[in-house]
Amino acid sequence: MKITRLETIPVSIPIHPRRAIRGGRGAHTVSPFLLVKVHTDEGIIGLGEVSCTPGWSGEDQVTAAHMVQTYLAPLLIGENPTDVERLTAKMRAAVANNPFTKSAIEMALWDILGKSVELPVYRLLGGPVREYVPTKFSVSGQPPEQAAEIAAWAVEQGFRTMKVKVGIEPNGDVARVRAVREAVGPDVRLGVDANGGWSPRVAVQTIRRLAEYGIYFAEQPVAPVDVAWLADVRRQVQVPVMADESVYTLQDAMAVVRADAADVLSVYVGKGGGIGPARKVAAVAEAAGLTCTVGSNLEMGVASAAMIHLALATPGIGAEDFPCDILSPFFYEDDFLAEPLPIKAGEARAPERPGLGVELDDDKVRFYSRQTV
Nearer Cβ to Mg ion, position 330 or 368?
330
State which residue, 49 or 244, has the beta carbon closest to Mg ion: 244
Write the CA distances from 80 to 41, 48, 84, 271, integer angstroms: 10, 17, 9, 25
Return the axis-axis angle of helices 170-184 and 200-210, rounded to nearest 10°: 30
Q: Decide if 267 contacts 295 (C-beta within 8 A).
A: yes
Shorter beta-carbon distance to Mg ion: residue 84 or 139:
139
Query: Whole-number minimum distance, CB 15 to Mg ion, in Å?
Result: 16
Do 190 and 181 touch, CB atoms closer than 8 A?
A: yes
Considering the complex, state which of residue 173 and residue 193 has its C-beta at the smaller distance from Mg ion. 193
Residue type, 209: R
Using alpha carbons only, give the angle 368, 27, 32 rounded to the nearest 5 degrees.
25
Q: How far is the CB of 245 from Mg ion (least distance, A)?
A: 7
Report the nearest approach of Mg ion to the CB of residue 37 (Å): 29
Nearer to Mg ion, 125 or 264 (CB): 264
Task: Please report how close the Cβ of residue 271 comes to Mg ion at its closest, in angstroms.
Answer: 10
Rounded to the nearest whole angstrom, what is the least distance from the CB of residue 195 to Mg ion in the complex?
Answer: 6
Q: Is 372 exposed, middle or buried (0-12, 13-18, 19+ CB in 10 A)?
A: exposed
The nearest distance, CB 203 to Mg ion, in angstroms, is: 14
Using CB positions, name the residue nearest to Mg ion: 244
Quick one: 53 or 88, whose CB is closer to Mg ion?
Answer: 53
* Interacting residues toward Mg ion by CB under 5 A: 193, 244
Between 110 and 217, whose beta carbon lies closer to Mg ion? 217
Nearer to Mg ion by C-beta: 137 or 336? Answer: 137
Smallest distance, Mg ion to C-beta of residue 305, A? 20
Minimum gap (Å) between residue 161 Cβ and Mg ion? 14
**Which residue's CB is nearer to Mg ion, number 191 or number 354?**
191
Give the list of residues 6+ apart from residue 137 with CB closer than 8 angstroms, or none: 151, 154, 157, 159, 161, 162, 163, 327, 330, 345
Q: Residue type at 274?
A: G
Count how many Cα atoms sit within 13 Å of the Cα of residue 363 in the half-sphere of its side chain.
Answer: 2
Strand boundaries in the chain, DSSP class E: 3-14, 21-23, 26-28, 30-40, 45-51, 133-134, 137-139, 161-165, 189-193, 215-219, 241-243, 264-267, 291-294, 343-344, 347-348
DSSP per position, 206-250: HHHHHGGGTEEEEE--B-TT-HHHHHHHHHH-SSPEEESTT-SSH
In 129-186, the DSSP E strands lie at: 133-134, 137-139, 161-165
**By C-alpha distance, which of 57, 79, 62, 106 is closest to 271?**
57
Minimum distance between the CB of residue 126 and Mg ion, rounded to whole angstroms?
27
Closest distance to Mg ion from the beta carbon of 242 (Å) = 8
Please provide residue 181's backbone torsions phi and psi, each rounded to the nearest 5 degrees: -60, -45
Give Cα 245 distance to the centre of its chain: 11
Q: By C-beta, is 111 or 193 nearer to Mg ion?
A: 193
